[in-house]
A = this chain, B = another copy of it.
Amino acid sequence: MLKAILFDLSGVLYDGDQVIDGAVDAIERVQDTSLDIRFITNTSQKTRQRILDGLKEMGFSISDSQVYTATEIAKQWLEENDRRPYCLVHKQIREEFDELDQSDPNAVLIGDAGEDFTFANLNRAFQLCQQGAVLAGIGYNRYYSQDDQLMLDAGPFIKAIEFAADTEATILGKPSETFFEQVLATTGAKPEEALMIGDDVFGDVEGAIKAGLQGCLVRTGKYQQSDEDKISGDFFVAGSIVDAVEHALKQSD
């Protein structure tokens, strides 16, 4: 019996600034049920406020408290662990970390920094880790989709620094089991009573399955042909959020 649905945002509800066909209605449908609904995103190119504003503009009925971002989880983790981070993140979210002491860094935080992934910045991240700073990542996504092109996300750069400095990053956000647990703790659902719907076969679907949730892959957003063959485990494949919601509601009646 399904009790909660977790939705990824980009690629599931919208693609760039285009709403996925039927997505607004699909969200309205699930919001009208007794299911716990959460929206969880690794996007690190936008602040929480810009994400919420964007959803509103596109016509989605989503309350602030339903949205969980990896960026905020990362900030919280840095605070709780008394870390002074060197933030290699996108200029559009840099302000989110303004309150933190960033002098004499004892941590490196890597998000999707886009054009700021320069040799100099990556080398600084590496040197700090080599000198003992801990490495943290906002998600571990390999790529995202933009204007019908796949673009490198934070994951490959986190991987590069892990390899160079012979270390393992703490991943905040998906596919970290801790993140799924944190979000589920705000619902009444056990892992097996929750369904994660996403377009990232690794970060969303594989991550959810490993954390004990049910997984659903949508063939929109960054989805590439044969993605479903890249991971093992049982999961549902849906044409889009519309079919995914249909599938979910069948299990909750």
Partner of A150, one of B117, B126, B142, B156: B126
A143–B123 alpha-carbon span in the complex (Å)? 10
Q: Is the CB of A152 within 8 A of B166?
A: no
* Band of interface residues on A: 20 to 34
Tell me how far the C-beta of A156 lies from the nearest C-beta in chain B, rounded to whole angstroms: 4
Tell me how far the C-beta of A202 lies from the nearest C-beta in chain B, rounded to whole angstroms: 9
Q: Is the CB of B152 within 8 A of A156?
A: no
Chain B residues near A161: list those with CB within 8 A.
Answer: 156
Partner of A118, one of B118, B130, B150: B118
Q: Is A157 an interface residue (CB 8 A)?
A: yes
Chain B residues near A150: list those with CB within 8 A.
Answer: 126-127, 130
Q: Is the CB of B155 within 8 A of A164?
A: yes
Told that A117-B119, A127-B149, A130-B150 touch, could you supply 4 new A-B pairs with CB distance under 8 A?
A122-B156, A127-B150, A130-B143, A159-B159
Nearest opposing residue in chain B for A149, CB measure: B127
Q: Is the CB of B164 within 8 A of A143?
A: yes
A159–B149 alpha-carbon span in the complex (Å)? 21
A-B contact pairs, 21 of them (CB 8 A): A114-B119, A115-B119, A116-B119, A117-B119, A118-B118, A119-B152, A122-B156, A123-B151, A126-B150, A126-B152, A127-B149, A130-B143, A130-B224, A142-B166, A152-B160, A156-B159, A156-B160, A156-B163, A157-B160, A159-B163, A160-B160
Q: A39-80 interface mask toward B, CB cutoff 8 Å, 1 = contact, 0 = none?
A: 000000000000000000000000000000000000000000
Chain B residues near A142: list those with CB within 8 A.
Answer: 163-164, 166
Nearest opposing residue in chain B for A227, CB measure: B166
Nearest opposing residue in chain B for A164, CB measure: B156
**9 interchain residue pairs of minimum CB distance:** A156-B160, A156-B164, A160-B160, A159-B163, A117-B119, A142-B164, A156-B163, A123-B152, A115-B119
Residue of A116, A164, A166 with most chain B CB atoms under a 10 A cut-off? A164
